[in-house]
Amino acid sequence: MLHENLRTQLDKILKADLPFISGAHMTTDHWSSRCNDAYQSLTMHYISKNWEYKKWTVECKATQGRHTGESIAALTDAMINNIPGLKEDCYKTMTTDAASNMIKGMQESLVIDKHFRCIDHLINVCVQNALLEESVSQAVQKCKDLASATHRSSSKTELLKKTAQEIGGINNTCLIFEFVQLVNIFEIV
């Protein structure tokens, strides 16, 4: 009952707003519940005729089978086409993660005009890949060890501050070093 009332109210808002917009931005993603049930959601963002920023979760559907580009495109298009009041000529953009099936799905979509990959997701993937590099993981471990040692010992913190001053670092409790200086200083731990 609650879901039906919310859906009815959202549909009224969308029918009133969407005929007056020239562009809408959307996001979509797949995920699985703890019970391993798969879902795809669709959010929509737009500026109303009164210059109000609006964002809604317009659909969340259970999915079956493999998450192929073709199935993602078909479900995404069906969800977008089901948005009440959205004009066919409205310019539609989409942001997704950089998974190959999402990219293929957006390429195969018949209603998406422009696809963007989420920068937060791309940065996270880059960082995760960098952390797999031995030299990076060793440097991160040295930083963790340095932080742990200075948090446990005021004498090591004082030694770190003194060494930082000697090499031109700053003298306060939030020490900021360039990466090379930090690795060199670690040798005092």
pLDDT tens per residue across span 40-63: 999 999 999 999 999 999 999 999
Which domain CATH number covers 108? 3.30.420
Domain end call among 108, 126, 144: 126
Domain end call among 110, 126, 142: 126
Domain coverage including residue 26: 2-126
Of 11 and 127, more confident: 11
Kindly report whether the global pTM for this prediction surpasses the value 0.85: no
**pLDDT tens, residue by residue, 116-145:** 998 888 888 888 888 888 888 888 788 778
Q: What pLDDT sits at residue 169?
A: 60
> Strand (E) positions, the chain?
23-32, 38-47, 53-63, 91-96, 114-117
Residue 110 and residue 146 in contact, taking contact as beta carbons nearer than 8 Å: no
Is there a single domain that holds both residue 42 and residue 71?
yes
Domain end call among 83, 111, 126: 126
Among residues of the chain, what percentage have pLDDT more than 90? 52
Max Cα distance, the chain (Å)? 69
pLDDT band at 156 (very low <50, low <70, confident <90, very high): confident
Is there a single domain that holds both residue 6 and residue 55?
yes
Is there a single domain that holds both residue 63 and residue 156?
no
CB atoms within 10 A of CB 73: 21
Mean pLDDT of the 3-26 span: 93
In the chain, the number of structural domains is 2
Q: What pLDDT sits at residue 57?
A: 95
Mean pLDDT of the 151-166 span: 75
SS3 (DSSP) at 110:
coil
Torsion of CA 66, 105, 122, 64, to 10 degrees: -20
Is there a single domain that holds both residue 117 and residue 154?
no
Is there a single domain that holds both residue 168 and residue 141?
yes
pLDDT band at 105 (very low <50, low <70, confident <90, very high): very high
Computed on alpha carbons and rounded to an integer, the radius of gyration of the chain in Å comes to 25
Is there a single domain that holds both residue 109 and residue 170?
no
Helices (H) and strands (E) in the chain — how many of each? 7, 5
